[in-house]
């Protein structure tokens, strides 16, 4: 019983921090003075690129008028999947 709640809490934390990373990455693309060669930005982009890649294969930016909606879709998918997993764990717990 306690293990399910611990796993649910871990999922919640991972979803929360991943959402923050995606949000920060999306905001940084709108700030022209931020160097994409900065080590912190490169690390952030390497993490978020793993999340965006499958989404961009399904919906490439060229199909949406060169507006990259993959961050929005990634956040939405993370929230939905996270909530479903947490519900499953809590109801079985």
pLDDT at 86 over 90: yes
Buried b (16+ CB within 10 A) or exposed e, 16-45: eebbebbeebbebeeeeeeeeeeeeeeebb
pLDDT confidence tier of residue 62, bands split at 50, 70 and 90: confident
pLDDT, residue 9, reads 96
């Amino acid at each position: 019983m306690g293990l399910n709640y611990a796993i649910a809490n871990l999922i919640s934390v991972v979803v929360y921090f991943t959402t923050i990373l995606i949000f920060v990455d999306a905001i940084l693309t709108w700030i022209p003075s931020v160097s994409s060669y900065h080590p912190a930005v490169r690390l952030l982009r390497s993490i978020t690129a793993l999340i965006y890649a499958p989404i961009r294969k399904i919906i490439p930016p060229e199909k949406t008028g060169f507006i990259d909606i993959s961050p929005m879709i990634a956040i939405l998918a993370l929230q939905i999947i996270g909530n479903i997993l947490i519900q499953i764990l809590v109801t079985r717990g």
